[in-house]
Homo-oligomer: A and B are copies of this chain.
Amino acid sequence: MTKFAIGLDFGTESGRALVVDVATGREVGSAAYRYADGVIDERLPGTTIKLEPDTALQNPNDYIETLKRAVPEALKQGGVRADDVIGIGVDFTACTILPTRTDGTPLCTLKEFKSNPHAWTKLWKHHAAQPEADRINALARERNEPWLAIYGGIVSSEWYHSKTLQILNDAPEIFNAADKIIEASDWLVWQISGALKRNACAAGYKGLWVKGLGFPSNDFLRALDPRLDRLNETKLVGEIVAPGTRVGFLNEQAARWMGLRPGIAVAAPTIDAHAAVPGAGVTEPGRMVLILGTSSCHMILARERHLVPGISGVVEDGILPGLFGYEAGQVGVGDIFEWFVEHGTAARYKHRAKERGISAYQLLEEEAAKLEPGESGLLALDWWNGCRTPLVDANLSGLLIGATLGTRSPDIFRALIEATAFGTQMIIETFERHGVAVNELVACGGLAERNKLLLQIYADVTGREFKEAGSGHTSALGAAMFGAYAAGRAAGGFDSLTDAAKAMAQTKDVTYKPNTQHHATYRKLFAEYRTLHEYFGRGTNDVMKRLREIRNAED
Contacts and interface: CB of A to CB of B under 8 A. Distances in A.
A374 B409 contact: no
Contacts of A555: 375
B404 A384 contact: yes
Given A374-B554, A375-B551, A547-B528, A401 B397 contact: yes
Interface stretch (A239-247, A337-345, A492-500): A337-345
Interface stretch (A41-49, A57-65, A254-262, A538-546): A538-546
A554 B517 CA distance: 11
Contacts of A508: none
A141 interface: no
Contact of A407 (B343, B345, B401): B343
A189 interface: no
A502 B398 CA distance: 51
Contacts of A400: 399-401, 403
Nearest to A349: B347
Nearest to A546: B528
A405 B384 CA distance: 6
A110 to B, nearest CB: 39
A408 B343 contact: yes
A376 interface: yes
Contacts of A378: 547
A82 interface: no
A405 B385 contact: yes
Contacts of A335: 405
Interface in A371-418: 372-379, 384-385, 397-405, 407-409
Given A344-B344, A535-B541, A403 B408 contact: no
A452 interface: no
A532 interface: yes
Nearest to A399: B401
Q: What number of copies of this chain does the assembly contain?
A: 2
A33 to B, nearest CB: 30
A547 B372 contact: no
Interface centre among A343, A379, A408, A553 (most CB of B within 10 A): A343
Given A524-B546, A546-B524, A374 B551 contact: yes
A377 B343 contact: no
Interface in A433-488: none
A513 to B, nearest CB: 21
A554 B399 contact: no
Nearest to A542: B528
A138 interface: no
A405 B336 CA distance: 7
B347 A347 contact: yes
B336 A342 contact: no
A553 B375 CA distance: 8
Nearest to A409: B343
A490 to B, nearest CB: 51
A379 B404 CA distance: 16
16 contacts: A375-B551, A397-B402, A397-B403, A397-B404, A398-B402, A398-B403, A398-B407, A399-B400, A399-B401, A399-B402, A521-B550, A521-B554, A528-B547, A531-B541, A531-B543, A535-B535
Interface of A: 332, 335-336, 339, 342-347, 350-351, 372-379, 384-385, 397-405, 407-409, 521, 524-525, 528, 531-532, 535-536, 541, 543-544, 546-548, 550-551, 553-555
Given A375-B551, A377-B547, A384-B405, 8 more contacts: A343-B408, A347-B347, A377-B551, A384-B403, A397-B403, A399-B400, A521-B550, A528-B547
